[in-house]
Amino acid sequence: MPDSYLVELKNSVFQETLLSEDEFDRQIEFPSETNAEEWVVEQNRTHSEMGKLTLHTAHPNDKSNVDAYVIFQPLGRWVPDS
């Protein structure tokens, strides 16, 4: 079992929400996947009128060092994220 769970916040998180890179690094290390999921739920309480943050497990072929990505899905429209 890994000692940590590394999550990368994608561009949409900073462009479409009140979260800023001054407050959060692009990558956040959590003690576990459960802790990361709880953080996303907590952040969604603040942004529920704007849309929803979602946690996506990195694809097995993903060459990055992250375990998952957080993206923001605005209400009523799809925003692809890079």
Distance of CA 65 to CAs 6, 28, 46, 52, 74, Å?
Answer: 8, 12, 28, 24, 27
Question: Does residue 56 lie within any of the structural domains?
Answer: yes
> What per-residue confidence (pLDDT) applies to 68?
96
Could you tell me the residue range of the domain that residue 33 belongs to? 5-74
Q: How many domains does the chain have?
A: 1
* Chain centroid offset of residue 30 CA: 12
For residue 80, being part of any structural domain is answered with no
Residue at 41 is within a domain: yes
Model confidence pLDDT, tens digit, residues 20-30? 888 888 999 99
pTM: 0.81
- Give a yes or no: residue 14 inside a domain: yes
Q: Which two tokens stand for residue 40?
A: 């996303």
